[in-house]
Structure 1
Amino acid sequence: MSQSNEYRKGPVTLRGRKVPTSTTDQRLLDNSGPADWVHTDPWRVLRIQSEFVEGFGALSELGPAVSVFGSARIGPDHPIYELSTRVGEVLVEAGYAVITGGGPGTMEGANLGASRAGGTSVGLGIELPFETGLNAHVNLGINFRYFFARKTMFVKYAQGFIVLPGGFGTLDELFEAVTLVQTGKVTNFPIVLMGATFWEPLLDWLRTTLIAQGTVSEADVDLFHLTDDPDEAVRIIREARP
C-alpha cells in the first residue's frame, strides 16, 4: 500500500516528506532504539507538568505560610544565620509554615527555627551542580528541575516574603516578587527586608537612580518593608492580609 500524503499526529498535520515511516505507538513499544527521546522538548513539557502536579499536591493543604529567602553561603556562626533561625521560630509561633529553598545558610537557619518551634518546615530544592540536597531541618521537601516551577510554589502558597541578605538568587526572587505585586499579579503580598545595613544601600540606589530617572515610582519602592525585628516582620505580614 502506498504511503499517504497526509499524516495526523494529535493536533499536528504532516504532509509530504514530513510523513513518518512509523507510528507513535510503534516507537513507544520498540525499545531497541536510542533513548534520545527523553531529552526532547515535548517530553520536557510532561516533566514540567509533573513538577507542577507534585508541587500543587504536596502543598495544597499547607495552610498559611511565609517564604523566607537568603544566602546559602552564610554559616551557623554568622549573626544573619541566628536571625534566620529566630525568623523561623517567630513565624511558626504566629501560625505560619515556613517555606525556604531547602539549602544551607539562611535557608537552613529558617528551617531549623521552624522545626525547633514544632511547625511545618518546607524546603523547595533545585537541581544544581553545587547543591547537596535538602537540609536536615526540612520536614516537607520537594525537589525541582525547573526554576520557574519552583518559583510558582514560593509565591502561590505564601502569604508574603521575608528576605534576608543574599546573593543573585535572593535578588532574583526579591525582584520577581516585587514585580508581581507592582503589576497586580498578586495582591496583599508584603515583602519584608531584614538586615537594614545590608538593604539600605539598595533602597537608596532605587530612590536616587530609578525614581530620579522616572523608571519606577516612590510607591513602587514603598512596597518594600525594612526591619531588623522578626516580630515586626511577622506583624507586617499579618496586617497585610485582608
Structure 2
Amino acid sequence: MTESVREHRKGPVQLRGRQIPETTTDERLLSESEGSEWVHSDPWRVLRIQAEFVEGFGALAELGPAISVFGSARFRPGEPEYELAERVAAGLVGAGYAVITGGGPGVMEGANKGAHESGGTSVGLGIELPFEQGMNSYVDLGVNFRYFFARKTMFLKYSDGFVVLPGGFGTFDELFEALTLVQTRKVRQFPVVLVGVAYWSGLLDWLRDSVLARGAISAPDLDLIKLTDDPDEAVRLVVEGVRDLHASEEAARAEAEAAAAAERTGTDGT
C-alpha cells in the first residue's frame, strides 16, 4: 500500500514532506518576533499581497452575477447540511447566478457540486491553512490565497449576496464581516440569508435579547438577516434581495439625475 504524503499549497507552490512550513503566511505577517527584520521583509510581502489582489481580480472580473455560499468544512457527503448546500446552489444556478465558496470540503463542496452538476459556474476561493484542505473536485474556477483578508475581499467584491449554512468560526467570521461592512455603509447593502432555523435561532435570540437590548446595535441591523429552513426559500430571499437592491439603486440614480437636471435648468434660466 502506498503511504499517503501530506501536501500543502503555498500560493501557486505545492509542497510536501519536510518542505511544508510550520507557520502560515498570515501568521508570519502578523508576528512581532522578527525584530528589525520586518524592515527588509515587509516591503516584499506588500508586493506578494498586491499580486494576490491582481490575480483574484483578473480571475473573477468577468464572472457576472454571483452568490457566495458559506458553511462548515466538517460536514460530509450524505449529511443534511451537505445536501442542503447542493440544493441551494442548484437553485441559485437556476436563477442565473454563479456560486462562490471557499473551495474546501463539507458545505463548500456540496455547494460547488450543486452548481457544477446544474451546469452553472462553480467558483472556489481557497486559503493556505496549516491543515491542508485543498480545492474540491467540483470547482470549475479556483483561486488560492495566502492571506485571509485578500480572499475575503474577493467574496465581498464579486458576490451579490450571501447564503450562510451551519458552520463554525470561519463561517461566523465571514458572516459578521459582511454584516459589519453593510451596517457601517462601507459597502452597499446586500442580502444575507441564514439557512437552518434550529442552528441559527440561538444566535439571533442573543443578538436581539442581549446585543440589541443593551443598545450595542440598532433594530434595523437585525433586518439585514433573513432566516429559513427551506433551500428554495433561501434562493428566493437572496434573489429578491438583489432585485430590490438594484431597483432602489436605479431609483436613487434617476432621482439624482433629475435633481442635477433641475439644477442645470435653474442655472441656465431656461
Query: Normalized against structure 2, the TM-score is what?
Result: 0.74
Q: Which residue number in structure 2 is paired with residue 107 of structure 1?
A: 108
Give the CA deviation at 1:240. Answer: 2.0
Q: Which residue number in structure 2 is paired with residue 32 of structure 1?
A: none
Q: Which residue number in structure 2 is paired with residue 116 of structure 1?
A: 117
Contact 1:122-1:138 within 8 A present in 2 as well: yes
Distance 1:142 1:225 in 2: 29
Q: Which residue number in structure 1 is paired with residue 96 of structure 2?
A: 95
Residues paired across the two proteins, number: 206
Moved more, 186-195 or 134-143: 186-195
Distance 1:221 1:113 in 2: 30
Contact 1:126-1:150 within 8 A present in 2 as well: yes
Distance 2:132 2:227 in 1: 30
Q: Secondary structure at the match of 1:142?
A: strand
Per-residue CA deviation, residues 22-57 of structure 1 (Å, 9 max, x unaligned), is xxxxxxxxxxxxxx99x8100000000000000000
Question: Matched residues, percent identical?
Answer: 70
Distance 2:205 2:239 in 1: 27
Q: Which residue number in structure 2 is paired with residue 214 of structure 1?
A: 215
Per-residue CA deviation, residues 33-91 of structure 1 (Å, 9 max, x unaligned), is xxx99x81000000000000000000000000000000000111211111001111111
Give the CA deviation at 1:193. Answer: 0.2
Give the CA deviation at 1:228. Answer: 1.4
1:227 aligns with 2:206: no
- The correspondence of residues 176-191 of structure 1 with structure 2, limited to 5 A, is 176-191=177-192
Distance 1:234 1:184 in 2: 24
1:164 aligns with 2:195: no
Moved more, 145-154 or 180-189: 180-189
Give the CA deviation at 1:185. Answer: 1.5
Give the CA deviation at 1:186. Answer: 1.7
Give the partner amino acid of 2:70. F
Give the partner amino acid of 1:137. Y
Per-residue CA deviation, residues 79-133 of structure 1 (Å, 9 max, x unaligned), is 1111001111111111000000000000000000000001100000000011231
Distance 2:132 2:228 in 1: 30
Q: Secondary structure at the match of 1:213?
A: coil
Q: Which residue number in structure 2 is paired with residue 12 of structure 1?
A: none
Contact 1:103-1:131 within 8 A present in 2 as well: no
Rg larger in 1 or in 2? 1
Q: Which residue number in structure 1 is paired with residue 198 of structure 2?
A: 197
Contact 1:85-1:113 within 8 A present in 2 as well: yes
Distance 1:63 1:97 in 2: 7
Give the CA deviation at 1:171. Answer: 0.2
Q: Which consecutive unaligned segments of at least 5 residues does structure 1 have?
A: 1-35
Give the CA deviation at 1:169. Answer: 0.2
Distance 1:100 1:151 in 2: 11
Give the CA deviation at 1:174. Answer: 0.4
Q: Which residue number in structure 2 is paired with residue 21 of structure 1?
A: none
Give the partner amino acid of 1:120. T
- The correspondence of residues 1-242 of structure 1 with structure 2, limited to 5 A, is 40-241=41-242, 242=246
Per-residue CA deviation, residues 120-179 of structure 1 (Å, 9 max, x unaligned), is 000000000112310000000000000000000001000000000000000000000000
Contact 1:188-1:240 within 8 A present in 2 as well: no
Distance 1:129 1:211 in 2: 37
Contact 1:127-1:144 within 8 A present in 2 as well: yes
Q: Secondary structure at the match of 1:118?
A: coil
Distance 1:140 1:212 in 2: 44
Give the partner amino acid of 1:149. A
Q: Secondary structure at the match of 1:186?
A: coil
Q: Secondary structure at the match of 1:188?
A: coil
